[in-house]
Amino acid sequence: MYASQRRKEIIKMTRERSYISVAELRKFFDVSEVTIRSDLRMLEAEGKIERNYGGATIKDIAIPPFSEVTMLLNDAKKSIARTAAELIHQGDSLFLDASTTTLLLSEYVAEMDNVTVISNSIPIFDQLKEYSRGTLISIPGALNPITQSFVGPLAEQMIDNLRVSKAFIAPKGILPEGLRDHIMLEAAIRKKMIESADEVIVLADHSKFTTQQTIFSIASFDVVSTVVTDRNPDPVFQELFQAKGIKLLVAE
């Protein structure tokens, strides 16, 4: 593949995923990291992408800051977080993924005793930075500036070495086939959290239940124990949850 063709493909891939890492690109094109970084420098000079630590984001997509995302469907997310907090008990160890709903959930955790929180989310750490009533553990990795979270092989390796009682997962999309994400590295982190938890609790406002494809698979519903949402989903999901023995909680 010529360099010009490769760069066009890089723009396409970055646009589809919002963020893409150097490691992903190097593996996909089977070229050196030096070559990929040279491509990214060229595309940034042309004003087509923005380089970030370990990867790139597309420049012509307006991605709202994390603080703005938290305002979308805020009431629904707050009610979901409040209901989910009732599922946490003293002595629990938790994975909280990098999402606006788990950030709201962390506000309730801050008032609990003897809970261990493990997360890759910078906003959650900011929320719990003075949490002295329990334990806060960081998942390290490469920074995803869009989600303000740490991702990548180092983060995944650490999660592999842990075991928690509950994982609170807020996917970007929910299909009858399972949980989905639009960023590959974020999907990988959520998948690892699910695999390392005794109980998986999905937090999803009504907008997440969709028939539109969200590219990257996280997990099927076979591993989910509870779904917390703000409205009853379509009958196809209700029947699916009943068939699989998944508890559905609709927040008030």
Alpha helices (runs of H) in 51-127, residue ranges in sequence order: 66-69, 74-85, 100-109, 122-127
Predicted local distance difference test score (pLDDT) of residue 62 = 46
Looking at per-residue pLDDT, the higher value among 115 and 10 belongs to 115
At 11 the pLDDT is: 85
Task: Provide CATH code, domain 3-58.
Answer: 1.10.10.10
User: pLDDT tens digit string along 94-125?
Assistant: 999 999 999 999 999 999 999 999 999 999 99
Q: Where are the domains of the chain?
A: 3-58, 68-250
Q: Give me the DSSP letters along 183-231.
A: SHHHHHHHHHHHHTEEEEEEE--GGGB-SS--SEEEE-GGG--EEEESS
Please tell me the least confidently modeled range out of 71-85, 102-116, 146-160, 227-241. 71-85
Assign 203 a pLDDT band (cuts: 50, 70, 90). very high
Q: Quick one: average pLDDT of 160-188?
A: 93
Least trusted range by pLDDT, from 105-119, 195-209, 212-226: 212-226
How far is it, in rounded angstroms, from Cα 252 to Cα 250? 7
- CA–CA dist 170, 151 (Å, integer): 16
Q: Which helix (H) or strand (E) holds 34?
A: helix 33-45
**Looking at the domain that runs over 68-250, which CATH code has it been given?**
3.40.50.1360
Pairing label, strands 164-169, 149-151: unpaired
Is residue 166 within 8 A of residue 194, CB to CB? The reply is: no
Average pLDDT (218-236) is 96
| pLDDT score of 239 | 96
Greater confidence (121 vs 57) lies with 121
CA pseudo-torsion sign 72, 10, 141, 52: negative
Cβ neighbours for 249, distance < 8 A, ≥ 6 positions apart = 83, 84, 226, 227, 228, 229
